[in-house]
Structure 1
Amino acid sequence: MIDLNADLGEGFGRWRLTDDEALLTSVTSANVACGFHAGDPVTMRRVCERAAAEGVRIGAQVSYRDLAGFGRRSMDVPAAELAAEVAYQIGALEIFARAAGAGVAYVKPHGALYNRCVRDSVQAAAVVEGVRTAGAPLPVLGLPGSELHAAATAAGLPVIDEAFADRGYRPDGTLVPRSEPGAVLTDPGQVLARSVAIAAGKDITAVDGTPLRLAARSLCVHGDTPDAASLARRIRDELAGAGITVRAFV
């Protein structure tokens, strides 16, 4: 059994990047942009309403304040400020999730913040403090073995190990930076095979050719990749064909 998540609501005003409606027919968890790297109130409300109608869990995809860089630029934000901004983003999404008859079910950092929290204990602790400030013991979705998960565990928050269907991995289990070759997988056949291998607990191949095994309860497919909605549907069908149940982790 594995959860299938995707990044949704990644638009702003009249600009839309993700095919939210189509993705919500395939995924079981939706990482909804909360306005700092993408998203706006109207988009957040629309995605929450549709997610609730489809029975998809709503997650707060929190980010550095970086609309221009889509949250993928490295930033140095003071811990107290970051904690407050994380809490702010969760609270904003919670309003629309509740209005849709649901609620925020988990938290996942986005982009540069996600990667920073793999190794930076200070930034990771600030994210966790933001989750706690938001007022509920929400599960934290992130990379296995990360400083984010260490901080969440220390704070008594549940952690959910995540793997990526369409990203390259280093031998140590961290993601290949997007600035380097092999960071993003574009061959659908490779993505499908990797998805099944991860869900089945089998080895995948790291960027240097070595075998790598990832323990994951949730599998991510990026919503901003070309034909993401079609790919998400094919992944779900491929998992089902392999006898793997796709179900939300919360």
Structure 2
Amino acid sequence: MSTSWKTTIFGSLAVAGVLVMSGMAYGGEGPAGGDLWAAATIEPGREGIVEVGGYEGAPLGAGSVLTLTAPANARVTGTPFAAGGYRGSVALGGGSGTYTFTGAPGADGKPTPGAWTGRTFPFVLSVSRDAEPGTRLPDCTLVLKDAKGTVRQWGTCTVTVGLPAPTLSHPQSGVPLGALPKASGTAYPGAQITVRDAREEEVCTTTTAPAGTWSCTPALPLPPGPGRLQATATLNGVSATSEQIDITVEASAGAQPDTVSDSGGGRL
């Protein structure tokens, strides 16, 4: 199998299929007019990294703290930032995570230049298994305070529940197919499945059954020769794609459904 030809990069980190972005905001000495901002798409029952960044205000000294409060149906499980001068921690139960700046002040006694500025801070979030794909988890907040506890900037993080990638189990690569082969696989229950060929033309569509299985047969005969298939699942505005499968359709005088191999084929 080969990987998707339609990969789009939305951000700087991807963990377990999870897409991550970070946003930039305000520069100044008081609370921000703009916000700290971060967004991630994480599948149910999986972990993903949310990158928080954007502070461009005055340097903050040792004891300043960045806090992410986890959204509903999620918890913080890690603070993996490894740079010197910062200490990460996770609250009991995962309700929040923090980074504390521990760097010493400069020789003139002023805060170390660049603290919190021009960098991002990763928080690992785990999304509940029963979270519904396509929903946006509420109540994810970000706060940056100085050593005195004064809020210097705040914001929200957007965590969207992603859709697990479907599988395209049939056909199997290298097995000759008839002109109307059956495609099948697994996906999230209720997801709309569209099978496309290498030209991104629709081959067949169906809806995933409650048991998580799907199958469909092309309405039109597939042209003979080599081809490629990929399944896309869509639900509540989010989508995911399977790996590609290379196929070969045999030349045939009549187009009959392929019921012997229970396989699927595609256009060239």
Alignment TM-score, normalising by the size of structure 2: 0.25
Alignment TM-score, normalising by the size of structure 1: 0.27
Task: Name the one with the larger helix percent.
Answer: 1
Task: Name the one with the larger strand percent.
Answer: 2
Q: Looking at CA atoms only, which structure, 1 or 2, has the larger radius of gyration? A: 2
Question: Greater RCO between the two (CA within 8 Å, min separation 6)?
Answer: 1
